[in-house]
Structures are given as structure tokens and as C-alpha cells.
Structure 1
Amino acid sequence: METLLSLRGVTRSVVLPDDQELHILRGIDLEVFSGDHTAIVGRSGCGKSTLLNLLGLLDVPSSGELEFLGTPVQHIGGNARARLRGSTVGFVFQQFNLLQGRSALDNVMTPLYYAKGRDFWRRRELAMEMLDRVGLAARAGAKPNMMSGGEQQRIAIARALVRRPRLILADEPTGALDVETGQTVMALLDSIATESAAALVTITHDHNVAALARSRYRLDAGVLQAVAEVPA
């Protein structure tokens, strides 16, 4: 499998107002492969959000090496990193982050307004194809307040995948859903990611969600460790 992301000895620290240095991530080693499903499980405050920002090219390490498709992200300027993120990374959030006043179709089309060439001109067609893929083509004109939580999350998945990203980052994707709906959503997300050979990274505190992944890690106090099984 192709290595999409490679982290070696990655740390992330911030300086507090009293000039104390807070170490959030400590020596992270991680390989993310195209077509794989990786789960990172940890409690609140363990550094999951900070790690997500690094994986999603929203931030750069304080030290260590983070490579995206073989290119060190520290060597990529902020604007170039934003363009790379927009074309290769799809985000799925716990709270859906949908545009409440816009239809499902409008929400899914939104990322395609930043596309170029054929994808831009075919944005409505591509959005409808993705809505059909998540089983919501018939709800294209509905607004989020007319949908269930499971439907809203499927719209969020369609929006994240409409540009065919190489990397899908799912941040607590079932946190706002009941157990049964959450399992259905995760199965859908995993299925679509596998079909498109995208890497899926799920960041969660839910051990049942983590158990669906093929590669599993635990993040505790900024330290990442591979585990064969995620303990309950």
C-alpha cells in the first residue's frame, strides 16, 4: 500500500501566557496508508484535536517529521498547504457543520466551488451522484432542519467525499448519533473510503467505533501507541 502520511518523532507544543511551554504531543510515530482505516482513540484532553490538525494539514509540528505523499509539510507554505488540504483532505465532524439555510445539494456542492476545470462546471452533477451514493438523492432539496441526525451526517459525508479526497479525517463522527445510526454511518463511511482507495482516519473516544478499523492506536497524554485491540 502507498504511504499517504508519515509521522516520525512528531511533537506539538504551545507557549502559555505565563511563558510556560505546554507539551501536547510527544514523539508521535504513525504511518497512514492509502485504502486503510486507522482509528485513534483517546479521552478528552489527550491531544486528539491537536493530532487531527496536524494530519489535516491545518498545522505543522513543533519538531519531528511529517510527510504527506513524501513531501515534508514544513517545507510547504501556508497557502500551498491550504490548496493541498482542499484538494486531498475531507473532514467529517461530530456536529455535521452543515449550512443550515441551504439544501442538502447546496451543502454537498460547497467544496466544488473551489474546484477547477471540469469538476467546477459539473459540480451539481457530481454532488447529486454523491447524494445518491449515500442514499439521499431524493432529499436533495431538503434543508438540515428537516433531516434526522443520521441523514445530516450522511450529507456531511457526501460533502467530505465529493472532491474524491485521498485522506478522510472523521472527528468523533458518531458522537451526535444513537448507537444503531452510528454503526450504519460508520459502515457507509468505511465502504465508500475503501471503494475510492482513500485513507480513513477516525478519531474517537468510542471503543466500538475504533474496533471497526484495521489499524488501531491509543493516544494518552500526548503519547501514541499501537494496540491489537482497543480495550473497553
Structure 2
Amino acid sequence: MVALRGVTRTVRLPDDQELHILRGVDLTVNSGDHTAVVGRSGCGKSTLLNLLGLLDVPTGGELTFLGTPVQHLRDSARARLRGEAVGFVFQQFNLLPGRSALDNVMTPLLYAGGKQFWRRREIAMDILDRVGLAHRARTMPTMLSGGEQQRVAIARALVRRPRLILADEPTGALDVDTGQTVMALLDTVATESGAALITITHDVNVAALARACYRLETGVLSAAAIPTGANA
């Protein structure tokens, strides 16, 4: 599904020096995989997430998504592919505060075409039901618990049936028990839909739920043992 071969990402600083954020990253993720990438703050996790989510392109190496080298895509084509095939789950939920849970989940479908657009309310209600929140569809985010808000965010990420789900520190704003419940739900729903799930995290309890684990240090990605988890 997604493959990185010798991928680098370099930015030029104001003093004209180059900052090497990613250094020759190799990674392959197939449909149905659940992969965790762990690392400390500043190691390049956000940059890697932006590349995997087609928000940016590598400086060097090759990144292919569904067999297409993304460097050869125009920004508009990359954005279209991202909207159709990638779902994002963020640490801070990023829900629209003035909209109900249902409206938040429907938002990605406003950019869909055909039946998905016209059936957006039905589709959104179905995915809310799958995450156990159909009864909270009309509720505003401020009236939802942290775990409920994250489940709405998961429903929004899944509503267009993405091929790849990227979870960026998805439990960072939750207590341990709620976080594990949310991750188990995310893994279950991703498995049922056949989507690949990549979790970017520093939490060993989250990484322990993956089936493959990598560590990112100073821009270098290497295979790592799956943690047993602090609460195992």
C-alpha cells in the first residue's frame, strides 16, 4: 500500500544551513497491517506522518502510495488521493466545536461524490453506531467526554473507508484505561475494513497493541521489538 525507499527530508534554515530531519527511511506497510512508530519529541515523527499522509513529499528517495510515486503527482492530485484514501486521527481530536458529533463525522463526505455525498447522513450515522455513539449524534463536542470525542474523531477518520489510517498520538489526551479502549476500538474497526493502521506514538502501551514496531531516532528508522506495555 505505502512504501518508502531511502526517503530523506531536508529543510533549509534561515542561516542557509540544511537540517536533515529524515535520513534514508525504508518502510513498507500493507493492507491490514497495524504498525507503530515510536520515538521521542523532535525525532522526526511529525515529518514522517506528513509524508505518509501525502501532506508533503520527500526531498530524496521514493515514496509510493497504492503503486503511485507521489513525487510525480501535482498538489491537487495528491490532495484528492489523500481525501479518498487516508484517514487521520489526532491527539487533540480537532473536532469542529460548533457542530454536533454527526456533523463532524459528515464533514469529510461533503467532499465526496455521487452516492457518498447524497447518503452522507446515513453513512455518518452508521459509522457512529459502529463506534457506539449513535445515541450521541446530536451532542456537541463540549458535552462529550474525552473518550467519546476521540471515538467521534475515529468515526470521522473512517467515514470514507480509507485504505490507510494514520493515528498521531491518539491517546495522548486520554487516561490510560480510556486510551487502551480507544486503541482497541481503532484496531478492531481498521481490521474489519481491511485498512492499514499506522500509529505514531511515544506511549509503549499504544505501541504494544501493534503487530510491527519501528523506532525513529534522529531521523533514522529501524525495526524494534513490540513493547510489552507498562500495564501488561
TM range (shorter): over 0.9
CA distance in 1 between partners of 2:101 and 2:66 (Å): 32
Residues 159-188 of structure 1, C-alpha deviation per residue, up to 9 Å, x if partnerless? 000000000000000000000000000000
State the partner residue of 1:13.
10
* Percent pairwise identity: 79
Question: Which secondary structure state, in structure 1, belongs to the residue aligned with residue 16 of structure 2?
Answer: coil
Task: Name which of 78, 85, 101 aligns with 2:98.
Answer: 101
How far 1:227 sits from its partner (Å)?
A: 1.2
Alignment of 1:125-164 (within 5 A): 125-164=122-161
Report the aligned-residue RMSD: 0.8
Q: Does 1:223 align with 2:207?
A: no
Tell me the residue number matched to 1:177: 174
1:66 and 2:63 are equivalent in the alignment: yes
Structure 2 unaligned blocks of 5 or more: none
Q: Superposition pairs for residues 30-109 of structure 1, below 5 Å?
A: 30-109=27-106
> Deviation digits for residues 83-108 of structure 1, max 9, x if unmatched?
00000000000000000010000000
* Alignment partners' CA distance in 1, 2:66 and 2:86: 12
Taking the aligned partners of 1:219 and 1:97, their CA distance within structure 2 comes to 25
Residue 114, structure 1, aligned to residue 114, structure 2 = no
Following TM superposition, by how much is the alpha carbon of 1:49 offset from its aligned partner in structure 2, in angstroms? 0.1
- Output the amino acid matched with 1:124: R
Cα offset, 1:229, TM superposition: 2.8
1:15-49 CA-to-partner distances (Å, cap 9, x unmatched) read 00000000000000000110010000000000000
- Whole-Å separation in 2 of the counterparts to 1:168 and 1:6: 15
Q: Distance in 2 between matches of 1:229 and 1:105?
A: 36
When the two structures are superposed, what TM-score results if normalisation uses the length of structure 2?
0.98
Alpha-carbon shift at residue 69 of structure 1 (Å) = 1.1
Give the aligned length.
229
Structure 1: segments with no counterpart, 5+ residues:
none
**One-letter amino acid matched to 1:70:** G
